[in-house]
Amino acid sequence: MVQGSRFIVASNSHVWSDTGVTADLLRSRRLFKTLSLLVAKAAGVNVPPSLLLLGRRRELIADFARKWGCPLMIRLDYRRSPRQKPLGGVPLYTLDAMCGVCEYLFKRECLPLFHPNLDRFRDIYSVGVSLRSDGYEAEIEVVGRGFDAGDLRLGKAVPHERIAADLSDGSLSRRGTISDTDYRRERASRIERVRRLKAYIDFANRSAMLATDLNAFNPTHSFADSNAGIPHKYQRIPNTILRKLIEIVQTIRLSVIHGLPASKDFVASLSYLPGKDWILWDIYGDWYRR
């Protein structure tokens, strides 16, 4: 591994790093999630350091873990939509668990995508941003502290805030916030989901496998433990943080989506993390099933 590399793609016989990773390399393999990160990174958008494995490379996983620390977050990319998509976004704590999960994914024609573990339970805000290739309006759905971008992508949360923005000038045309009653209901649902997520994380690390359905896991962590960090009331996203987000979305609309496969609609997922600012998880279009 090239020392200091932040973006790595590796096959059984070759390693591409940073500027050696080209859009054509990923586009030709139809690895569009990783492509969205690469194109966004080139445009100056903050993305997580990434290691995408096209083949078995235990030593590269070990190098990546030494550089960024354990645990590593495991996600996945794929050339064709799997019949049942494994649930990623979980931390893996040992090299054996990381390599075992890689084998699990390879057998299902999925490719392991590693990042440093940016703890999903510590997200301050997470957003799903809907864009159109033929216009400049963005629809932004927000969830607050203790929720994560996956809640929006998978339809597991009602947005806490909805914002419409005109990207031609950055102005807001609409902004609404969840009622206190609805938020309390969403908070209770999220706490139960966190308990299942923590049981799933335990399973993934013990078994070196992933799963396709979170409902298969009975909550094992205490309510108080899972309740930590989820406020009792939603705090509207501050204007300074929102302004930074709008600027990023403008960059995505003007400089990123044209580098992705053609699509009428795009959705970008981002989180605002302590000490990390906004970070992009991926951008997907009509061609990508969640």
Residues 246, 150, single domain; the answer is yes
Q: What's the pLDDT score for residue 218?
A: 83
3-class DSSP assignment, residue 180: helix
Q: What's the pLDDT score for residue 221?
A: 61
Q: What's the pLDDT score for residue 229?
A: 80
CATH of the domain at 248: 3.30.470.20
pTM (2 d.p.): 0.93
Can you tell me which residue has the tokens 């620390």? 69
Q: How far apart are CA 116 and CA 253, in angstroms?
A: 27
Q: How far apart are CA 37 and CA 48, in angstroms?
A: 8
Query: Is position 132 within any domain?
Result: yes
* 127 backbone dihedrals φ, ψ, rounded to 5°: -135, 150
Q: Among candidates 16, 102, 96, 107, which has minimal Cα distance to 56?
A: 102
Contacts of 205 (CB under 8 A, 6+ apart): 91, 92, 93, 94, 97
Q: What are 33's two structure tokens?
A: 């999630």
Residues 74, 139, single domain; the answer is no
**By the 8 A CB rule, do 247 and 140 touch?**
no
Residues 143, 174, single domain; the answer is yes
Q: How far apart are CA 107 and CA 127, in angstroms?
A: 32
Q: Of 117, 136, 159, which one is at a domain's C-terminal end?
A: 117
Q: What's the pLDDT score for residue 4?
A: 61
**Domain, as residue range, for 275:** 121-178+234-285
Residue pLDDT tens, the chain, 290 long: 455 679 999 999 999 999 899 999 999 999 999 999 999 999 999 999 999 999 999 999 999 999 999 999 999 999 988 888 999 999 999 999 999 999 999 999 999 999 999 888 888 999 999 999 999 999 999 999 999 877 776 677 899 999 999 999 999 999 999 999 999 999 999 998 888 999 999 999 999 999 999 888 887 665 555 566 899 999 999 999 999 999 999 999 999 999 999 999 999 999 999 888 999 999 999 876 54
Query: Is position 202 within any domain?
Result: no
Output Rg (C-alpha) for the chain, integer angstroms: 19
Q: What's the pLDDT score for residue 121?
A: 83
Q: Of 117, 134, 168, which one is at a domain's C-terminal end?
A: 117
Q: What are 212's two structure tokens?
A: 């396709």
Residues 159, 238, single domain; the answer is yes
Number of domains in the chain: 2
DSSP secondary structure letter of residue 4: T
